[in-house]
């Protein structure tokens, strides 16, 4: 078992980027008509400043390709970060024509504040919520644990949930809790578009990605960084498949194996995820 080490290199890097990169990036964005993007330090924090916009557009195209965006769709973006997908949705005319409703939730107060003041203002059907739960890489000072956290949404209130590069930073118990909560807030027949790192013990290091998950966290997961496990966590595929089934999810498309492994899951029946006494 690995111990938690507080203080994330992600957060230290963001502080350095805020001081050194953001001022120049502000000029770059102004000069290139990209002032609608979040600052460099925030874009870098969610996986890459330079391809931030292209990645968001790619996700939206993928959601269309998979038939997940329909008129009036109610979207929950769990771990929305600084709005990589939200911005692409809000700026896409095809999406606008569908009159979607969007809710983003994240533990990163700074990212949520930016999204609220920059995206929500211009797109009133978009709403952002801060969840003060702990994640050693992204919110080490967080007050609560995911295991006891109830998403602040009604049962069956969404048609589509997104969790991109989120379950790659959580522990097994946290994944269990969030899948149960997603099963609760998704309407029957709703879809969960989620990415994971799969790993199969004994398999050759996956050629498809540069990260090696060599350090066991527990019986079902492993990390690339034993000092800060939440930086990147992979889960046994058979355990994930059991979790999906246990929480009433069926596999609707995928899994698509890649740098991260993506699956579209279908919520089959309404759930009540209150922890049992």
Ligand X SMILES: C[S@@+](CC[C@H](N)C(=O)[O-])C[C@H]1O[C@@H](n2cnc3c(N)ncnc32)[C@H](O)[C@@H]1O
Tokens, residue 213: 């998950």
**Minimum distance of ligand X from residue 82's CB (angstroms):** 7
In the block, tokens 């498949």 appear at 241
Least CB distance to ligand X at residue 168 (A): 7
Whose CB is nearest to ligand X? 81
DSSP string, 222-277: EES-TTSGGGSEEEEHHHHHHHHHHTTEEEEEEEE-SSSEEEEEEE-S----PPP-
Least distance to ligand X, CB of residue 204, Å: 26
For the chain, helix, strand, coil in percent to 5 are 35, 25, 40
CA angle 187-106-262, nearest 5°? 60
Which is closer to ligand X, CB of 175 or CB of 206?
175
Tokens describing residue 271: 């759930």
Q: Which is nearer to ligand X, 51 or 71 (CB)?
A: 51
248 vs 260 by CB, closer to ligand X: 260
Q: How far is the CB of 249 from ligand X (least distance, A)?
A: 19
**By the criterion CB under 6 A, which residues form the site for ligand X?**
46-47, 78-81, 84, 105-108, 111, 131, 133, 135, 138, 146, 164-166, 169
Among residues 173 and 250, whose Cβ is nearest to ligand X? 173
Closest to ligand X by CB, 188 or 273: 273
* Gap between the Cα atoms of 177 and 146, Å rounded: 7
Contact between 79 and 65 (Cβ < 8 Å): no
Smallest distance from the beta carbon of 247 to ligand X, in angstroms? 17
C-alpha distances in Å from residue 113, one per residue of 27, 38, 45, 204, 276: 22, 11, 15, 42, 34
């Amino acid at each position: 078992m690995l111990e938690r080490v507080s203080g994330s290199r992600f957060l230290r890097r963001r502080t350095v980027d805020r001081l050194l990169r953001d001022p120049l990036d502000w000029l770059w964005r102004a000069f290139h008509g990209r002032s609608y993007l979040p600052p460099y330090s925030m874009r870098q924090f969610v996986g890459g400043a330079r391809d931030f916009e292209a990645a968001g557009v790619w996700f939206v195209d993928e959601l269309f390709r998979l038939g997940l965006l329909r008129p009036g769709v109610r979207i929950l973006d769990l771990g929305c970060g600084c709005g990589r997908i939200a911005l692409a949705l809000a700026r896409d005319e095809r999406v606008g024509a569908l009159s979607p409703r969007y809710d983003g939730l994240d533990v990163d107060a700074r990212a949520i504040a930016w999204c609220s003041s920059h995206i929500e203002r211009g797109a009133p059907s978009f709403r952002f919520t801060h969840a003060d739960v702990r994640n050693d890489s992204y919110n080490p000072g967080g007050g609560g644990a995911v295991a006891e956290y109830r998403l602040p949404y009604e049962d069956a209130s969404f048609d589509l949930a997104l969790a991109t590069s989120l379950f790659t930073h959580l522990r097994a118990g946290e994944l269990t809790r969030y899948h149960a909560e997603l099963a609760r807030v998704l309407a029957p027949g709703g879809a969960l578009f989620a990415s994971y790192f799969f790993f199969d013990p004994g398999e050759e290091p996956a050629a498809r990605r540069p990260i090696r998950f060599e350090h066991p966290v527990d019986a079902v997961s492993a990390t690339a960084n034993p000092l800060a496990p939440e930086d990147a966590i992979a889960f046994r595929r058979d355990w994930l498949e059991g979790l999906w089934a246990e929480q009433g999810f069926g596999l609707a498309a995928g899994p698509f194996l890649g740098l991260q492994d993506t699956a579209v899951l279908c919520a089959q029946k309404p759930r009540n995820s209150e922890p049992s006494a």
